[in-house]
Every structure is written in structure tokens, then in C-alpha cells.
Amino acid sequence: MRRIYLDHAATTPTHPEVVKAMLPYFADSFGNPSSIYSYGQEARGAMEEARIKVAELIGARSEEIIFTSGGTEADNFALKGVVDASEHKGNHIITTSIEHHAVLEVCRFLERRGFEITYLPVNEYGLVDPDDVRKAITDKTILITVMHASNEVGTIEPVEEIGKIAREADVYFHTDAVQTVGHIPVNVDKLGVDLLSISAHKLYGPKGVGALYVRKGTKLVPLMHGGEQEKRRRAGTENVPSIVGLGKAVELAGQEIDKEIEQLAGLRDRLIKGLMERIDHIRLNGHPNKRLPNNINVSVDFVEGESMILNLDLEGICASTGSACSSASLEPSHVLLALGLSPEEAHGSLRFTLGRENTEADVERVLEVLPGIVAKLRTMSPLLKTQK
Amino acid sequence: MPDVWSQYSKKVMDHFQNPRNVGEIENPDGIGHVGNPVCGDIMELYIKVEDGIIVDAKFKTFGCGAAIATSSMVTEIVKGKSIKEALKISNRAVAEALDGLPALKMHCSVLAEEALKSAIEDYLNKSKKQEDSSKSESAS
Ligand code: FES
């Protein structure tokens, strides 16, 4: 059976050229970048080249890029690092109710440490109102953190406007750009951010590596203490092969970004339209056009998401859901609830996230099998009858 | 949650893909309607009883793969059982009949047990009422 992978927001396949670029740095140029002999310097050179590439893609300077173990570390570093450096100034952080757990859970942790967190609501499309951000700022606010785009519903947030507000108030501004870097244009000056998180495996790079952009002059206490790597901002021998992989991945992303946007947005719109035509009692979650080119998120009434996903998997199609049944905590997606969906609607949510290797045939295949799956599950659904 | 699915037995997958006894019974002798407090799922179970024996059972379920499979299995097990025997069917027995469930999914089988119990309770209440009314009729 042909496998159709439609869960690129979870992770992407590593591009073959990325793998090729990484290989020499395992056994040949395996040196420690901190060593001064040539082996070490080869590794250092490759790493610095990757740093330049990452900086170029987001309009930053290379010394503003710190490599991390991924998006989660970048988020943790940004939040805890700012808080530890600015504690004397205040204890208030502004964020949103739809952030990734890598931000939300850090906020909850900081709350337990005595910080005050404002979790801003979003509207029915998942958009944060910049005015809410402005109103939430107090003289105790030390950080604003708002994601660039939602990993679940794909809504692209008004980060640029929030950046201006943060700048006026002289408050540090972080954005989790894990879903956007390499997929839509990202420029740190245009967005007005001081900190920005990147993950390699969401843009066809390897897992376990990412980066935090830190605007020059931003005060940050390290998360990892130890050696003097990354200009003493992140201790630990650098993961050279993966960093090289990240560099290659952003290089390719930079070359392919326009093509990718066009390709994926076309497939996205085709899939959304097809689903609306072929399945009744279905609706789109997220914003109709302020939306990632690769994201489709719908709620199908009367049926539960995990059973849809399981049926799709039996047809070789990989997708995801915000249903309570599919999470270890057995709670529905906090993002869908924040958009105002009822637990039942969150239960029936389905997310498809497209990637470069997807074709029109993949979309057609989903449109071919999903209506049948939904119909079958609806014959079993006690909800349908009560609605009649 | 593919890590959980890989723990679904062949039997679970079979009952998930080809659920037995889906639907409603017209004029059932008992209906069980229960909601899962853990994840918010819903199960409905219908039974037909003749001479104290459950002769037919059907279900409708809004829930995960495990919930569908356990609903299907419980309707299979219960057919031909007396009310007394049926009341003894535990969620563990249903899970075992499916060659086990992942730990995270045991709560779904609890829903199946509760749906059955509530259908039987409904039946017992109804027949008690009938008895009462026929008693009062014969007294008058
Ligand atoms: S019914 Fe929700 S996890 Fe099984």
C-alpha cells in the first residue's frame, strides 16, 4: 500500500541532501569544534557556515544565532533566560492560550515560581488581538511571547503588530516560529522580535537540533552551564552533524520557499474545498486565509477523531486529531477549546499538514476514502440520532 | 497515538473494522446510555429480553477504536446470557475477550460494562413497573 504522509506539522522527512551534508561530520570530520587543531577547525568551519545560513534565512546576524537541541529547548531558553535576567525588573509575562506546550508548560512552571502570566484569549479563528496585548502590559511586564503560527489550526498571528507594541513598551518579545521558518517568509526585523525559536525537523532537517535567535543586546541567562560553547550562552559540545544538517535544510528551504508556498496552498485549498463538498456537517477550524499554506484542520460532527485517524491509517494515510481520546492526558486540544469549540467538536477534529512530497493524487486519495470512513462511523454514532 | 495502536490486538482491530451488532433495537426492553467521564465519549446499548434471557443486543458508540471494539464485543458476549449472568460481565472480561487492551484504553472498556449495566437496570425498572401496574390492575 502506498503511504501518504500528511502530518508534516509533527515532523518532516529529512531531505536526502541534508543527510548527505551531515554524513562527513560523523566519522571523517568528527572533531570537536572547540579543539584548535585542524579536525576541530573543520568542524567549527562547517558549524559557522550553518550559522550564517540560518541567520540569512531570517534576516539576522550570525552572532545572534544560538544552536539548541530543538524547538522545545529554544522556547525554554527564551522564556527562562529572559525571566532570570530581568527578574529585578518585574514578574509579569504575556502569552496566549494557544501556544505550543513548550511555551505553555514553561509559563505554568514559572507561575509556580511566583511569576504572573496573562494567557490572552483568541477569537474564533485563532487570532490574538494586538490590542489585548497592549492592554495587558503593565510596568511589571518583562516578556511577551506569541507564536508566529499555530501548529494545530495553522492561523498566522499578527506578530508584526505585536512587535511594534512590544517595542513601544520596551518589553522583550519572543515568538515560537517553529511552524513558519522555512515555510513562509520570516524576517526578525520586520516581525520586531527579540527572540525567535527554530526547529530543524519541521523543515526537512534532522531531529534534535534547532536554534534560538537572540537580538544583539538582549539580556539572557543561559539554561545550560558548563563549557564556553556558543559564546558561553549554551554549554555542551555542539551537535556538529545535526547543526550542519540544519544549515543545509534552511539553505534548501530558502531556495524552495516560493515554490513550496504555491504548491502547498494549491493542494490545501483543493483539499478543503473537496472535504466541504463531499462531507456534510463539517467545518474548517482556523482562519480562512491567514493560514499556513500546508494546514487543513476540520471538525467532523458526530464522529470521534481517533477512530477516523485509525481508519485513515488502515488506508495508509497519516493524519492527526485534537480528540481527547488520542492524547495521553485524555483531554481535548487546548487550542481547539480556546477557539471556542465544544469538547464534541474538538473530538471530531482532523488535521492534515502537507509537505513538499505531497501531490494532487494524495489529496484525491483522501477525498476518496474519508467520506466513506465518516459515513461508516456515523452509522455507529449515538450523537447523530439525538441531533435529528 | 500510534504507540497505542500498535498495542491493539488483532481482535480489537477486527471488531473495530467490522463491528458486530451496530444500531438500535426497535422497542427494546432496556436501553443503557452512558458517558465516559474520562474523555467524554458516549455509548448506547439496547437489549431485547425474553424469559429472562438477553436474546439480542445492539450498540451505538461515539469514541475511539477501543471503545468501538469493546462495545461490539460486549454485545456479542451478552447474547444468550441470563440477566443474572449478564450482570456479572466485567470490563476486564470484555477486554480479555479482545485479547487485552492497552493500559491507556482500559477506561473505554469500563464504559462498555456501564452501558450494559445501565441497560439491564433500565430493563429491571421497566419490568418492575409493569409488575406493579399489573398487580394494581388485578387488585382493582
Ligand atoms: S473512548 Fe475516548 S479514549 Fe477510548
Task: Report the chain B residue with the minimal C-alpha distance to residue A329.
Answer: B39
pLDDT at B37: 67
Q: Tell me the whole-structure pTM to 2 decimals.
A: 0.94
- How far is B134 from chain A, CA to nearest CA, in Å? 33
Per the annotation, the verdict on A107 as an active-site residue is no
Contact between A385 and B68 using a beta-carbon 8 Å cutoff: no
Residue B45 has pLDDT above 60, yes or no: yes
pLDDT at B133: 78
- How far is A179 from chain B, CA to nearest CA, in Å? 21
Give Cα separations from B24 to A21, B14, B43 (angstroms). 60, 21, 12
What are the residue ranges spanned by the domains of chain B? 10-126
User: Best of A325, A351, A386 to disrupt the B interface by mutation (most B CBs within 10 Å)?
Assistant: A325
pLDDT in tens, chain A (388 residues): 889 999 999 999 999 999 999 999 999 888 899 888 888 899 999 999 999 999 999 999 999 999 999 999 999 999 999 999 998 999 999 999 999 999 999 999 999 999 999 999 999 999 999 999 999 999 999 999 999 999 999 999 999 999 999 999 999 999 999 999 999 999 999 999 999 999 999 999 999 999 999 999 999 999 999 999 999 999 999 999 999 999 999 999 999 999 999 999 999 999 999 999 999 999 999 999 999 999 999 999 999 999 999 999 999 999 999 998 888 788 899 999 999 999 889 999 999 999 999 999 999 999 999 999 999 999 999 988 654 4
CATH architecture, domain defined by A4-11+257-385? Alpha-Beta Complex (3.90)
Q: Is B58 in the pocket of ligand 1 (CB under 6 A)?
A: no
pLDDT at A219: 96
Contact between B41 and A310 using a beta-carbon 8 Å cutoff: no
Give the confidence band of B137 by pLDDT, cuts at 50, 70, 90: low
What are the residue ranges spanned by the domains of chain A? 4-11+257-385, 16-252
Give the residue, by CA position, lying nearest to ligand 1 atom 2. Answer: A325
pLDDT at A2: 87
In chain B, what residues touch A330 (CB-CB under 8 Å)?
A: 38-39, 107
pLDDT at A388: 43
pLDDT at B48: 97
pLDDT at B38: 67
In chain B, what residues touch A329 (CB-CB under 8 Å)?
A: none
Model confidence pLDDT, tens digit, residues B90-111: 999 999 999 999 999 999 999 9
pLDDT at A308: 96
Q: Which CATH number fits domain B10-126: 3.40.50.300, 3.40.50.10860, 3.30.365.10, 3.90.1010.10?
A: 3.90.1010.10
Tell me which of A3 and B133 has the higher pLDDT.
A3
In chain B, what residues touch A312 (CB-CB under 8 Å)?
A: none
Contact between A303 and B1 using a beta-carbon 8 Å cutoff: no
Assigned fold of A16-252: Aspartate Aminotransferase; domain 2 (3.40.640)
Q: Point out the catalytic residue in the list A117, A284, A325, A384.
A: A325
